[in-house]
């Protein structure tokens, strides 16, 4: 399992993913879950993945090449004219991999599962963020729902609900994403470092930040300490209930 979050903001997009995969407590490995397509001045796209690793790697490999979907349309993310079309191409790749490998996994007693986040911007079109499902269908983030999550979403959601708004500045949004990830890391052993963080400024058409965060990263280390201490201090300021206990 993994955790990946995407934030859709007025000023751009922030995406963060972990890199842990496990097939049991004694079989844990590190695989990057963030995949980028970039042509500065023309487009910048990022895909974060969660679910079955072999399926997600197959989808990404297919997207790195030019392929033809079931309707005979050529799919190439570097030629998509907008993010909606790009999301359709990612969905087509998911369906193709599901058609090829889904039944075989079920025969081995494995339930195929895969979800993806796609965020980015293509020249002349708005920046957008999508969440894609195993069936290849997708939804788009909006001002009413300015963040999307896949994987182990429950632990990191409360801070996002309280902080993230469309007008949240990118730097604060990145900080919030890291706090959300830290909450998940503390509560679920199937999510782990290192982390991959990307930030895309609206209309810049190239990533403003591409960063791998490891265990010894000083800023993330400070977040892990300060957030925990801050929560304990706030908890102590809340009056105890007058229940005679």
* Mean pLDDT value across residues 2-28: 88
Model confidence band, residue 18 (pLDDT cutoffs 50, 70, 90): very high
Residue 72 pLDDT more than 80? yes
pLDDT value of position 163: 98
What's the mean pLDDT in 67-86?
96
Is pLDDT of 1 > 80? Answer: no
What mean pLDDT do residues 191-216 have? 97
pLDDT for residue 23 is more than 70: no
The tokens describing 66, both together, are 């030019």
* Sequence-separated contacts (24+) of 74-83 with Cβ below 8 Å: 77/37, 77/45, 78/37, 78/39, 78/43, 80/43, 80/122, 81/122, 81/125, 82/122, 82/125, 83/45, 83/118, 83/120, 83/121, 83/122, 83/125, 83/126, 83/127, 83/128, 83/130
Give the pLDDT confidence score for residue 45 in this predicted structure: 98
- Residue range 3-237 in CATH 3.60.20.10: yes
Region 47-72: mean pLDDT is 95
The pLDDT, as a whole number, for residue 130 is 99
- Within 8 A by CB and 6+ apart from 147, the residues are 5, 6, 7, 8, 141, 160, 164
Please report the pLDDT score of residue 111 as a whole number. Answer: 82
pLDDT at 169: 98
**Domain range list for the chain:** 3-237
The pLDDT of residue 229 is above 80: yes
Average pLDDT of the chain, as a whole number = 95
Q: What percent of the chain has pLDDT over 70?
A: 98
What pLDDT score was predicted for residue 24? 57
Choose among 186, 184, 187, 207: nearest CA to 197: 207
The string of pLDDT tens digits covering residues 147-198 is: 999 999 999 999 999 999 999 999 999 999 999 999 999 999 889 999 999 9
| Helix residue ranges per DSSP H, 115-217 | 157-163, 170-187
Whether 27 has a pLDDT exceeding 70, the answer reads no
């Amino acid at each position: 399992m993994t955790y990946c979050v995407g934030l859709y903001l007025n000023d751009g997009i922030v995406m963060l993913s972990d890199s842990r995969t496990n097939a049991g407590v004694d079989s844990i490995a590190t695989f990057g879950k963030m995949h980028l397509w970039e042509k500065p001045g023309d487009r910048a796209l990022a895909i974060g993945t969660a679910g079955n690793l072999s399926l997600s790697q197959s989808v990404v490999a297919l997207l790195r090449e030019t392929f033809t979907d079931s309707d005979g349309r050529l799919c190439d993310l570097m030629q998509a004219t907008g993010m909606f079309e790009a999301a359709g191409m990612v969905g087509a790749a998911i369906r193709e991999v599901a058609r090829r490998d889904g039944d075989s996994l079920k025969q081995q007693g494995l339930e195929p599962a895969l979800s993806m986040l796609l965020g980015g911007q293509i020249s002349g079109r708005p920046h957008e963020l999508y969440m894609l499902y195993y069936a290849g269908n997708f939804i788009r983030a909006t001002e009413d729902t300015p963040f999307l999550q896949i994987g182990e979403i429950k632990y990191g959601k409360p801070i996002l609900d309280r902080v993230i708004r469309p007008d949240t500045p990118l730097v604060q949004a990145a900080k919030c994403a890291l706090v959300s990830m830290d909450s998940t890391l503390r509560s679920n052993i199937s999510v782990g470092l290192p982390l991959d963080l990307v930030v895309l400024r609206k209309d810049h058409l190239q990533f403003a930040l591409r960063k791998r965060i490891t265990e010894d990263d000083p800023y993330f280390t400070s977040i892990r300490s300060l957030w925990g201490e801050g929560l304990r201090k706030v908890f102590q300021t809340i009056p105890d209930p007058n229940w005679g206990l």
